[in-house]
Amino acid sequence: MNLHLNRLIFIVLIFLLFNVAHATFPEKPITIVVHSKPGSGIDITSRQLANIARKYTKATILLENKTGGSGIFAMRYVLNKKADGYTILAVTKSFISTVLLTKGGVKMSDFDFLTCMVVDPEVLITNRHSSVRTLEDIIRDAREKNGHRRWLGPLVGGVDHLMAVETWEKLGISGEWIPYEGGAGAPC
C-alpha cells in the first residue's frame, strides 16, 4: 500500500479514536491552520485530509490560511489558541528552518508533532526541450555559465534553498536562487 495512503489512513484513525475515546469530542469545529496560501502543496494536502476525516467522523473540519512571516504568523496564531485539540497546525519541512533560523518567538518545544502526512522528495527539473537532460549536463552547464544558472524554489533561507546551496557546494558550481511565494504562485 502506498506510504502516503497509509499516513492518511493513520490520521483518519486518530480522528476516529478521538470520537471513541471522547464521546463529546468534538463539540465544536476543528480548525486546521495552514501557513501558506490556498493552492499550495500543504493547503491541498490539508484539504484532502479534512475531506477524508469528514467521511469517517461527525467532526466539522475547517481550514484557515494564515500566511506571512515564513509561517511564524500561523505558528503564533496556533500557540495563542487554547490547547484543547480544536486547532491544529499544518506545516511543511520549512517549519524547522523557520523556527531554528529566525527570531520569531517560537521554539520547536512549543509544539507536539502528531504525524508526518507526506514524503516530500526534492527533484531537479528542466524544460524537456533543453539540452540539459542529466545531472552531468547541469554541472557542465552551470560551470560554463559561471554561476549564471537560475534555480527556482520557495523562500530564501528555507530548507529548499539551503539544500540547493549545499548541492552547489558539493558539485563545485554556483547558481542564482529565484524565490516564489508558495506553490500556488510558482511560475508554470
Q: Are residues 91 and 58 in the same domain?
A: yes
Q: Are residues 73 and 151 in the same domain?
A: no
What is the mean predicted confidence (pLDDT) over 160-166?
86
**Dihedral of alpha carbons 146, 152, 156, 162, sign:** negative
In this structure, are 98 and 144 located in the same domain?
A: no
Picking from 54, 77, 110, the residue at the C-terminal end of a domain is: 110
**pLDDT per residue over 171-180, tens digit each?**
888 888 888 7
Instruction: Please check whether residue 9 lies inside any domain of the structure.
Output: yes
The count of structural domains within the chain is 2
Q: According to the model, what pLDDT value does residue 20 have? A: 53
Same domain for 105 and 27: yes
Residues 93 and 147 in one domain: no
pLDDT at 102 over 80: no
Q: Which domain holds residue 157?
A: 135-183
Q: How far apart are CA 185 and CA 11, in angstroms?
A: 28
* pLDDT reported for residue 129: 93
Residue bearing cell 526541450: 129
**Region 15-39: what's the mean pLDDT?**
78
**DSSP type of residue 87:** E
Q: Where are any strands of DSSP class E within the chain?
A: 30-34, 61-65, 87-90, 150-154, 176-180
